[in-house]
Amino acid sequence: MIWQCRTGQVESINVSHGGVPKEPVAEALITAFGLNGDQHRDLRHHGGPDRAVVLYSLELIEALAREGHQIRPGSAGENLTISGIEWTAVVPGAKLRIEEVRLEITKFASPCHIIAGSFRDGDPSRVSQALHPGWSRVCARVLSGGLVRVGDAIALVD
């Protein structure tokens, strides 16, 4: 049996008026449309009900920084930076709970040129699921919304 950590916490909540980096806020209301205060410049590729929230792992951000990438929470476009949960378990179909908020992972987030500044040589392919399985950011739909705060517990749920 492989043990996976199913609980963790919200380390950073990140929003922007369009583009990156997304900057930290202490709390945010999450609705079916995403985080209040977060906007997208390109609605064809970002946002929408199946991409309402983007999540990423603090442990992976720290590992990427050790590789020499200029990444930090929010710089790769994620709304929620989380820690403690085994990232390989955060895959399409997985469900997460943060207080009353429920999220369902819908897809791996494709790397794009917008986040290139976070990566050595401007190459964001380091977080491509196809090239580096287990290192991608993920998109989620909101099953039920609510207020999320930095430090809130987050859990993988069945």
- pLDDT at position 133 is 97
Ramachandran region, residue 35 (left: φ > 0; alpha: ψ -120 to 50; beta: rest): beta
- pLDDT at position 19 is 81
Span 121-128, mean pLDDT? Answer: 95
Span 13-36, mean pLDDT? Answer: 93
Mean of per-residue pLDDT scores for the chain: 92
- pLDDT at position 5 is 80
How sure is the predictor about 130, in pLDDT bands with cuts at 50, 70 and 90? very high
Collect all residues with Cβ–Cβ distance below 8 Å to 3 and sequence separation of at least 6: none
Q: Please work out, in degrees rounded to the nearest 5, the angle formed at the alpha carbon of residue 94 by the alpha carbons of 123 and 83.
A: 60
Collect all residues with Cβ–Cβ distance below 8 Å to 103 and sequence separation of at least 6: 53, 55, 95, 96, 97, 140, 141, 142, 143
Greatest alpha-carbon pair distance for the chain in Å reads 45
Closest CA to 13 of 43, 33, 35: 35
**CA end-to-end span of the chain:** 18
Q: Where are the domains of the chain?
A: 9-157
CATH topology (fold) of 9-157: M1 Pyruvate Kinase; Domain 3 (2.40.33)
Evaluate the CA torsion angle 45, 70, 90, 103 in order and state its sign.
negative
- pLDDT at position 1 is 40
Span 75-92, mean pLDDT? Answer: 96
Q: What is the pTM of this model?
A: 0.92
How confident is the model over 34-81, as pLDDT tens digits? 999 987 555 454 556 788 999 999 999 999 999 999 999 999 999 999
Tell me how far apart the alpha carbons of residues 28 and 43 are, in angstroms, rounded to a whole number: 21
How sure is the predictor about 158, in pLDDT bands with cuts at 50, 70 and 90? confident
pLDDT at 3 over 80: no
